[in-house]
Amino acid sequence: MTATTNESEDVEILASKDPGEGLPGRVSLPGYSRTMGPQTHLFAERERLQKLTWEHFNVHQMSPTIGAEIEGPDLSTDLPQEVIDDIQQALWDYKVIFFRNQNITSEQQIQFARRFGDLEIHPFLPPNSETPELVRFEKNAKAAGYENQWHHDVTWREEPSRSAILRAIKIPPVGGDTLFVDANAAYEGLPDEIKEKIDTLNATHDFLRAFGRVVPEDKRAEMRDLYPLVEHPVVINHYQTGKPLLYVNRIFVTAISGLNEKEGYELIDLLCREFEILEYSCRFNWEPNSIAFWDNQAVQHYAASDYSPHVRVMERASIKGTRPNRTQK
């Protein structure tokens, strides 16, 4: 026997089975609000997605309830409508889908995006100089990434975008991944007493919270008239699937109806921490000519800012949506 083995003989081993055996799902660590243990509410959706089959492409599922890589379609071509319909269905099912090796132009990106609806123009982010429908994110040593916070896009609009298509043009040698999180999983994982509290609440969203520094003082009144403070339900139902979705973020939400400022920010922060649970998310490692297509109601996203001063260039087309609603129970 080795010395290590001899030493182990002096240790009394009390366990005869895995410490998790017999525990009732997730448990709290004494003294803390966070839980640990199996996320059992994900299992039914995981099994449903694993049983799906597709006629026009192959799918690689990335995590239990969110994310899939799609192999087959060439997005530079005029795809048949039945392929577009299948891509849309895959988006509803997986919440975010990814395509690799799509060597397409900005104009082809717009043409593909328009197959899913009308496109919006963002008033506070710089566009591609030739195609205003594309927001251009050009990060470098002078402009590092500030999108590293979980959020749905443009929730300060009365009708936030329904979905978005982001294309990688130039990526850093290391880093710059984008993460996506399932807003239904985040809601369903909440304790029942929290769900009951938030199901009837509204949140105030404001563009100035994120973009105030780019709006000249003499343009603020005009911009406020165009984009007034807007209230959306804290919990919405997805426009297609009907699933309840947690719909708050730290970037644009400024208040919760019926709560004072301190109470409002505490509740916003508590809810936003649900998006940080890793089991609800997937992570996409970009390559040149990769494309992410996400459902802007069903997921939030987070762009990792770990690559400065290297260059990262992306272009995004956003498809117009409708006002988020909550079906009353």
Residue 269 sits in a domain whose CATH number is 3.60.130.10
Identify whether 178 is part of a domain. Answer: yes
Where in the sequence numbering do the catalytic residues fall?
Answer: 151, 153, 301, 316
**Pair 317, 109: CB distance under 8 Å:** yes
Calpha distance 309→144 (Å, rounded): 7
Total domains present in the chain:
1
In a domain, 209, yes or no: yes
Q: Is residue 171 a part of any domain in this protein?
A: yes
Given a cut of 50, whether residue 151 has pLDDT beyond it is yes
**Which residues make Cβ contacts (< 8 Å) with residue 54, sequence separation at least 6?**
86, 90
Instruction: Label residues 173-208 b or e (16+ Cβ within 10 Å = b).
Output: eebbebbbbbbbbbbbbbeeeeeeebeebbbbbbbb
Contact, 145 vs 307, CB < 8 A?
yes
In a domain, 67, yes or no: yes
pLDDT of residue 1: 46
Does residue 12 lie in a domain region?
A: no
* pLDDT for res 7: 58
Highest mean pLDDT among 19-23, 42-46, 144-148: 42-46
For β-strands 96-99 and 68-71, DSSP reports them as parallel
- Is residue 250 in a domain? yes
Identify the band that residue 129 occupies on the pLDDT scale cut at 50, 70 and 90: confident
> Which of 188-194's residues contact partners 24+ apart within 8 Å by CB, and which partners?
188/41, 188/244, 189/39, 189/41, 189/274, 189/277, 189/280, 190/246, 190/271, 190/274, 194/270
User: Which residues constitute the domain of residue 110?
Assistant: 40-319
Please report, rounded to a whole number, the percentage of residues in the chain having pLDDT higher than 90: 82
Does residue 312 form part of some domain?
yes
What is the band of 128 on the pLDDT scale with cuts at 50, 70, 90? confident
- 3 — pLDDT class (breaks 50, 70, 90): low
